[in-house]
Amino acid sequence: MLPRSQRNSKGVFNEIIQKGSFLNCNFFIIRTVKTQTESHFSVSVPKKVSKLAVERNKIRRRVYSAIQKFGKRIATGYNAILIMKQGSEKLEFDELTKEIDKNFVKYGLLK
């Protein structure tokens, strides 16, 4: 799972939601704000995706693990939030990782 030092704080989370640009993907929305520091990430799984907190937490942990796999490939200077959509709960881990990789490269979050 992604270490807490690489996750967004609550204050930054609200700033990203209000001022961030976004990219709409099949299974999630990426909202980002450019910064001068290293990149930080957050994952939001709305109740629309799953009513059960256990399932929402499972999705969140899977996304954090997928992001952690990219390691040194992550570009610096971004604060990002991934807002998951319906259908993302059905993805296998490998499919989720490929989807995140494809869209991070498209958006410039990966080198």
Q: What is the pLDDT of residues 18-77, one digit of tens each?
A: 998 999 999 999 999 999 999 999 999 999 999 999 999 999 999 999 999 998 899 999
pLDDT at 41: 95
Instruction: Give the residue from 23, 42, 29, 2 showing the smallest Cα distance to 85.
Output: 29
- Report, as an integer, the average pLDDT of 89-110: 93
88 pLDDT more than 90: yes
Q: What is the pLDDT of residue 58?
A: 96
* Predicted local confidence at residue 5, as pLDDT: 86
Distances (CA, A) of 100 to 11, 15, 18, 69, 89: 25, 23, 23, 11, 14
The phi-psi region of residue 47 (left if phi > 0; otherwise alpha if psi is between -120 and 50; otherwise beta) is alpha
Helices (H), 1-111: 10-19, 53-70, 93-107
pLDDT at 84: 97
Domain residue extents for the chain: 4-104
Please check the confidence at residue 1 and state whether its pLDDT lies above 90: no
Q: What is the pLDDT of residue 10?
A: 86
Task: Considering the domain delimited by 4-104, tell me its CATH architecture.
Answer: 2-Layer Sandwich (3.30)
Rounded-to-integer distance, Cα 42 and Cα 60, Å: 9
**What tokens were used for 78?**
């971004």
Q: What is the pLDDT of residue 2?
A: 86
Contacts with 69 (C-beta within 8 Å, 6 or more apart), sequence order: 97
Q: What is the pLDDT of residue 48?
A: 95
